[in-house]
Amino acid sequence: MTLLAKSPDQGGLTLEEHTRHVVEAMTHMASELDVAFDIARRGAILHDLGKGHPFFQAMVRDELTDQDWIEQEPHRHEISSLLFLPLVDEDEWPQMVDLIAAHHKSIKKDRSERGLIDLVREYGPSRVFERHQEKWESWGPEAIEIAATFGIEPRSIDEEARRAAFDVALAHCRTNEDGWSALRGVMMSADHFASNYTYETADEVDDLHREPDLTGYRENGGPYTASDLYPLSKLDTDDERPHTLVTAPTGAGKTNFLLGRCNGRVFYTLPFQASINAMYRRVQTDLYEHFDARADVRRLHATSRIELDDDVEEDPDLQRHPGASVKVMTPYQMASIVFGTAGYEAMALDLQGNDVILDEVHTYDGVARSMVLQIVKMLVELGCRVHIGTATIPSALSEALMEVLGGEEKVQRVRLDDETLDTFNRHRIHKCSTPEAAWGALDDLLEQGGRVLFVSNQVDSAQRRFRMVRERYPDVPAMLIHSRYKRRDRAELEDQIEVFEQQEGPCVVCATQVVEVSLDISFDAMITDAAPLDGMIQRFGRVNRERSEETIGRLKPIYVIAPPEDDAAILPYDAETVRASFDALPADGDVLREANVQERIDAVYPNVEIPEVDTHFIWQDGRYRIQKLQHRPKSVLLKALNINSETCILRSEAQQYADAGWEERQQMHIPVPVSFKRFEEEWGRLPDIGHEPLCPPDHLYDPDGLRLGLTTQPADDVSPNIL
């Protein structure tokens, strides 16, 4: 019987075919990532031989009954694979165990309690060994022959040798030192990549780990010629210090300067999906069109394919894998390296020795700020070059980052002088004591033909205001954007913002914080809820953003609505901070001077709170606090960051969601806060499928055809029975 590695519905790959694909992936990855090449390749050959076990073969052929699953003791193919250690020299066994024993599950405290040590604790070593060598003569020799096709000398492995291999592997896992295993990381990367690309593995893997040509950002060529308009473009990026901390206003050229400081593969982090999508497009356009420097540029958790020209198309399958030339993502997507959650070794190996840009670092507060600081510590430990850029950052946080990065000897610190900062004065602040005053201001702005950005702190407020805009100004083009849309619709709306921003004549875009960071848009005026000062200044940067000789000194109006008395109405922000921020703004009618922004921010944030979450971090006081081959459940990260969220899909799409693959499901997701769990009884939930989403009725999404996104009005036709 031919041994299978994948079930027929997963392609029906034979064990020999899958092994070949993994070896192809490993051949490239081990050499590029400076991992012991010969050992890693042999580990790739051995890692899945245990899939020859009769239980696994019955499973992939769908021959197991429910009774089989109940009555038979657990089987893990990784453990059966360890019985093939005698095929290699004994002095390589420790490395082979690192490659094989945990390439799917943690050796202990695994979420499923099926790691090697978990099973031994439950059943004892002898029963676990016997289970994983069952009927050896019917499959072991065939698996050995598969190994032989890849150059492993075939030899018979008797029961005594198999037990010796098992005992050595178990002892190694029990006494393994603390730290992270690069071998486990490269094995997981190669295995996942090969499983994704199967027969195309050899071709696709050759494009990984290519350093991008970023000389266009350093040579001031093409669209980025040095100019007084962009003061950072005139600074030297060749400073020998490895790290960077840049504080400069929106439009000063931070992005180009930070990219010009990079020398290897780049991980570019931003806080929000909208800013990630915008930066992805920008870097792709720069490298492909302006610099003619083709590179593997990816964004993590993209919501749609983007075709930039006939030769460039995004590959969503590739995004999850290591090896990008430039990857645009959020810091949360590299948080595994500090919390030790599943896949953290592969992430650490991908990051090691490369460049990481942390843009708009001021946006993280509370526990998220602790996480970002810990990520910076870990990146330094991994030999990364860290480049931080922000328009607004409390001095206390700047000093904390400088200390983590190693101080002035290790960091090129860039701050513009007051004379230069004064050329970035762009906004005249008006304080609205009531919401009614803001509507009066909107009347005047639209009458003058202004393009107005109306920013709310809460989605419900943005939806209500958009309805009022449509009723009050039926002939004025208007749109709404926030976080509570299907992901595919959100991507379309992000594109539509640029259309509104470029049109002639009056228009209104109602939005939430999603427009706050890194969107390259420039409106004529803004009306906004009061928010934390650093965030407000970022919002202001979406107005009068364009910079030219003619626009220097031009001022545009910003209307800030005073915070309400009800603290709940100020959420998701801290009410005390928002009120202090409103007070710290210039007097009504005065100009916001960029040279004074730092002073105003420090008045609101004289100290920066960095919550203690040390017990969750795997790297503390210069040493690791996690054993090799072990990872922690994702719940550790969620608990530490207090990340509580829900996902919705429309009820009419429930069956389609159940039948869909990962990428298609992502398009249907509507992200909502955890408070939406209160609708579970009314809306129902799709159990045991994907994110187990809530299923609101369709009439709550885009009622009246206004593109409102998901609303929270009570539903009429609710039922918990979704499928």
List the beta bridge partners of residue 645: 673
Band the pLDDT of 307: cuts 50, 70, 90.
Answer: very low
Instruction: Judge whether residue 195 has pLDDT over 90.
Output: yes
Q: Average pLDDT of 109-119?
A: 91
pLDDT in tens, 696-721: 999 999 887 889 999 986 444 444 44
Architecture of domain 8-205: Orthogonal Bundle (1.10)
What is the rounded CA–CA span in Å between residue 295 and residue 210? 7
CA distance 399 to 278: 30
pLDDT tens by residue, 416-471: 999 999 999 999 999 999 989 999 999 999 999 999 999 999 999 999 999 999 99
Task: Give yes or no on whether 215-421 and 426-592 have one common fold.
Answer: yes
CATH number among 3.40.50.1460, 3.40.50.300, 3.40.980.10, 3.40.1210.10, domain 215-421 = 3.40.50.300
**661 contacts: CB under 8 Å, gap ≥ 6:** none
Residues 6 or more apart whose CB falls under 8 angstroms from that of 174 comprise 117
Locate the domains of the chain by residue range. 8-205, 215-421, 426-592, 644-723
What is the 8-class DSSP label of residue 508? E
* Rounded average pLDDT over 45-71: 93
Phi, psi at 523, each rounded to 5°: -95, 170
Residue 78 to residue 48: CA distance in whole angstroms? 7
Query: Residue range 617-641: average pLDDT?
Result: 81
Residue 318: the pLDDT is 62
- Residues 6+ positions from 428 with CB-CB distance below 8 Å: 555, 556, 557, 558, 589, 590, 591, 592
Residue 308 binned pLDDT confidence (cut-offs 50, 70, 90): very low
- pLDDT recorded at residue 555: 95
Residues above pLDDT 90, as percent of the chain = 65
Measure the CA–CA gap between 711 and 467, rounded to whole angstroms: 12
Cβ 422 vs Cβ 593: under 8 Å: yes
- The confidence score (pLDDT) of residue 518 equals 54
Binned at pLDDT 50, 70 and 90, residue 230 comes out as confident
Instruction: Convert the pLDDT of each residue in 124-165 to its tens digit.
Output: 999 999 999 999 999 999 999 999 999 999 999 999 999 999
The secondary structure of 302-365 as a DSSP string is -SS--EEETTEE--HHHHTSS--SEEEE-GGGGTHHHHTBTTHHHHHHHHTTSEEEEESGGG--
545: nearest Cα among 567, 511, 520, 517: 520
Q: Which residues pair with 527 in a beta bridge?
A: 454, 559
SS3 of 555-618: CEEEEEECCCCCHHHHCCCCHHHHHHHHHHCCCCCCECCHHHHHHHHHHHCCCCCCCCCHHHCC
Q: Is the pLDDT of residue 211 over 50?
A: yes
- Tens digits of residue pLDDT in 508-559: 999 998 887 656 678 999 999 999 998 899 889 889 887 778 878 899 999 9
> Is pLDDT of 182 > 90?
yes
Question: pLDDT grade, residue 283 (50/70/90)?
Answer: very high
pLDDT of 178 reads 93
The model's confidence at residue 22, banded by pLDDT at 50, 70 and 90, is very high
Residue 302: pLDDT over 50: no
Based on the number of CB atoms within 10 Å of its own CB, is 238 exposed (0-12), middle (13-18) or buried (19 or more)?
Answer: exposed
- Encode pLDDT of 557-567 as tens digits: 999 999 999 99
Phi/psi region, residue 253 (left: phi>0; alpha: psi -120 to 50; beta: rest), is: left
pLDDT tens for each residue of 314-356:
455 566 789 999 999 988 889 899 999 889 999 999 999 999 9
- CATH for the stretch 426-592: 3.40.50.300
For the cut 50, the answer to whether the pLDDT of residue 640 exceeds it is: yes
Do the Cβ atoms of 630 and 654 come closer than 8 Å?
no
